[in-house]
Amino acid sequence: MRKVLTLGSTVLALAGLLWILSFFSWDIRTAIDRRLYPAPPAAPSPLSSAVEADMLRVRRAEFESVFRRVTGLLEAAEGQGLSVSVLRGKLDRARSLAEAGRFRDANMLLNLIEVRIPRKRERLVPAAEDEPDYAEQSSLRAKPARASRRKGKAPR
């Protein structure tokens, strides 16, 4: 009886070990491979500084173009007599973020400023009674969809 219990516990322990290995074998094998065969240290490419400089130049140029557009919109709103003094401070903050190299944050702030620029209300004029409804006319002139030549295929 003792041999049966020993054999049963051994089989149970091996089954548990195999069950654990089935879940973690890939991680264990990867860790062993990384320990035995480490990756060689990569030397920096001689072109990496040139690529980084080009990317920085492009990001700065994109920021400057958006900055000029938003500044022009602010000046136009100020010329119309609208209050934009609060947005001027945020514009300066966007400029300082860009100078620190945080172009993503600076562009997000410029987008927020552009959305919040006050605009004059436009006067809406109702359409005349005798003016034709262009939505109805365009739907009447539309051609029906052509049937597909292949069997079972829907028209494009």
pLDDT in tens, 25-53: 778 788 889 999 998 888 888 888 889 99
Cα angle for residues 120, 126, 127 (degrees, 5° grid) = 130
| Whole-number pLDDT of residue 8 | 92
| Whole-number pLDDT of residue 31 | 86
- Whether the CB-CB separation of 94 and 62 falls below 8 Å is answered with no
Q: Is the dihedral of CA 93, 99, 103, 105 positive or negative?
A: negative
CA atoms within 13 A on the CB side of 24: 9
Give the span between the Cα atoms of 116 and 68, in whole angstroms.
Answer: 16
| Whole-number pLDDT of residue 138 | 57
